């Protein structure tokens, strides 16, 4: 149980185009999902917290107009990179918050999406 999928697993696009990445919780409902970005040989950096039915909360330094997040249902959050540029090339990983024992809701991670902008 607690499987999170991402689609696509990799994408190559031209500079200036927009790319949509989907994050789905397959066997549980997730009120909260998180989006991370990871540059080569670096750690994961939290971009935003996505809450079902409300606006996402962005971390400092992340442009909300460039990285559009929609969490329209309890099993799906999407991240759209608008007008992508080569510096947006990165590994984008989502996680979905599910129920676990105790007070803490464990995060389950998707396999990631490799974005390359030419």
Classify the phi-psi angles of 16: left when phi > 0, otherwise alpha if psi is within -120 to 50, otherwise beta. left
Is 106 among the residues that bind other proteins (CB under 8 A)? yes
53 contributes a contact to other proteins by CB under 8 A: no
User: 91 near 84, Cβ under 8 Å?
Assistant: no
33: tokens are 């999902």
- For other proteins, the binding residue among 13, 44, 62, 74 (CB under 8 A) is 44
Query: Would you call the peptide bond into 8 cis, given omega within 30 degrees of 0 as the criterion?
Result: yes
28 touching other proteins, by CB under 8 A: no
Pairing of strands 113-117, 10-13: parallel
Name the minimum Å distance from CB 110 to other proteins: 6
Asked if 109 touches other proteins (CB under 8 A), the answer is: yes
Residues near other proteins, by CB under 8 A = 32, 34, 36, 42-46, 49, 57, 91, 93, 95, 97, 102, 104-112, 114
């Amino acid at each position: 149980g607690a499987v999170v999928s991402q689609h696509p697993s990799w994408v190559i696009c031209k500079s200036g185009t927009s790319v949509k990445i989907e994050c789905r919780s397959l066997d549980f409902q997730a009120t909260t999902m998180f989006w991370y970005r990871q540059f080569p040989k670096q750690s994961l950096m939290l971009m935003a917290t996505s809450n079902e039915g409300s606006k996402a909360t962005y971390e400092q330094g992340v442009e909300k107009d460039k990285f559009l997040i929609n969490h329209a249902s309890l099993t799906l959050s999407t991240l759209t990179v608008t007008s992508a540029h080569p510096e947006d090339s990165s590994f984008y990983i989502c996680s979905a918050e599910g129920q676990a024992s105790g007070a803490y809701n464990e995060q389950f991670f998707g396999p990631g999406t490799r974005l390359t902008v030419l």
